[in-house]
Amino acid sequence: MIISTLCRHIQRLTGTSRPRVVRLAANGVPKTRSLSSTTTSNSTADDVKSTADAPPEMIDNRPLARPRRALLYCPGSDARKVAKLSHICGTVDSVVLDCEDGVAHNKKEEARHGIREAIQTVPFGRSECAVRINSMDSGFAEEDLNVVFSGEKIPKTILLPKVETKEHLDSFCEKLIKALGKRKTSRDIHLLTYVESAKGLLNLKDVITHAIELSEYNLFSLEGIVFGSDDFCASIGATRTAGASETLMARQQVVVTAKAYDLQAIDVVYIDFKDIDGLRAQSESGAKMGFTGKQAIHPTQVDVIQAAFTPSAERIQWATRLVDEYHKSQSEGKGAFVFEGQMIDRPLLLQALNIIDISRAVQTNK
């Protein structure tokens, strides 16, 4: 389906015609895009308002994005694990009901219907209800969407794996429209896409800009990029190691590209769920690299991961004092100012504001 035909389908479904869209960035900055002219696939990160361009006065009062510090997978085909979700819901930021890698081929149908039932019955509380469907090339994605969106309640978030090209997004939109049928969504469906191959990594910028173009019709909003290390290593012929040095460059590239478009960046799974010390070290390392969250495969990983992606009390106090001092210096008509022995410039101020944002988002989402 060519893009113009696809866009007409989206317009009929949503009742919109290239509206003005305000999207929340990963760090909470409202990204306002003027849609008076046609957006092309040549859009760059400069087309999106970012923290670096906004006045500090506006940044300090911006709305908050949903935190996704830990994304906990639960295979939809495992009724026992689904039944236990009530014990973790309200604690973990995102519960991902899985149709893909966590489900055997002969269990896909069972997983779809199990997920639809879970969406209706599980008390998710503050936890995000997300669904990972199968990839567009798998032959399973269309039926995944048809079943998952056939219930009275529908998922707020879809995770789309193995996205390598713009055509994968076009196919997703086409199938999502069919799955929604005559149901008109009053709000965006949140979308997170995966980088799981060398091709997907090289094409990530094009995929993101195309997703932003498609999101202008309010069918979905792209909110984050997830890095899948196991499939990526298979793609490049690398061997997984405990230190994950073989994926360092790719992880950094995912962070840089995602953040260039103010998207969340979700780090790799730590496979050995019994190794809590190793999990903590990798989680803290990922947070320092710029990742905003991490995938989890066992409930025991959630607290460690979310702690790593939450600023400490000391960092929050430091950031709060710095911002207070900034406002004081502004009221006195001063430019640069000294704070605790350091000359404060804009990058350090923005770091402090980001720490406060994360803390506020976590508190708000409790």
Q: What is the pLDDT of residues 119-146, one digit of tens each?
A: 999 999 999 999 999 999 999 999 999 9
Within-domain flag for 3: no
Same domain? For 27 and 112 the reply is: no
Q: Is residue 8 part of a domain?
A: no
Structural domain including 246 reads 70-308
Q: What is the pLDDT of residues 194-217, one digit of tens each?
A: 999 999 999 999 999 999 999 888
Q: Of the given ranges (25-34, 75-84, 300-309), which has the lowest mean pLDDT?
A: 25-34
Of the pLDDT bands very low, low, confident and very high (cuts 50, 70, 90), residue 333 is confident
On whether both 30 and 74 belong to a single domain, the answer is no
**Residues 42 and 169 placed together within one structural domain of the fold:** no
Q: 176 and 52 in one domain? A: no
Q: What percent of the chain has pLDDT over 90?
A: 60
Give the residue, 343 or 72, on which the prediction is more confident.
72
Binding-site positions for Mg(2+) read: 196, 231
Band (7; pLDDT cuts 50, 70, 90): low
**What's the average model confidence in pLDDT over 150-179?**
95
Any domain includes 64: no
In the annotated binding site, the residues are 132, 196, 231
Q: What are the tens digits of pLDDT across the range 44-76?
A: 444 444 444 445 554 455 556 789 999 999 999
pLDDT above 70 for 294: yes
Active site residues: 345
User: Do 225 and 258 contact (CB within 8 A), yes or no?
Assistant: yes
- The angle at the Cα of 133, spanning 200 to 255, to the nearest 5 degrees, equals 35
**Residue 244 zone, left/alpha/beta (φ > 0; ψ -120 to 50; rest):** left
Number of domains composing the chain: 3
Annotated binding site for substrate: 132, 196
In a shared domain, residues 33 and 137 = no
Residue 147: pLDDT band with limits 50, 70, 90: very high
Band of residue 342 on the pLDDT scale cut at 50, 70, 90: confident
Q: CATH number for the domain including 171?
A: 3.20.20.60
* Same domain membership, residue 188 and residue 53: no
pLDDT band at 10 (very low <50, low <70, confident <90, very high): low
- CA dist 298 and 163 (Å) reads 25
C-alpha 356: how far from chain center: 19
Are residue 91 and residue 112 in the same domain, yes or no?
yes
Residue 136 and residue 239 in one domain: yes
Q: Is the pLDDT of residue 259 over 60?
A: yes
The whole-angstrom separation of Cα 229 and Cα 239 is: 10
* pTM for this entry: 0.82
> 361 CB contacts (<8 Å, ≥6 apart)?
28, 64, 65, 66, 67
Residues 193 and 255 in one domain: yes
* For residues 244-252, average pLDDT: 94
Q: Is the dihedral of CA 291, 129, 1, 39 positive or negative?
A: negative
* Distance from C-alpha of 317 to C-alpha of 355, rounded to nearest angstrom: 10
Report pLDDT digits (tens) over 15-42.
555 544 444 444 433 343 332 233 333 4
- Torsion angle defined by CA atoms of residues 15, 18, 22 and 27, in that order, rounded to the nearest 10 degrees: 110
What pLDDT shows up at residue 61?
Answer: 54
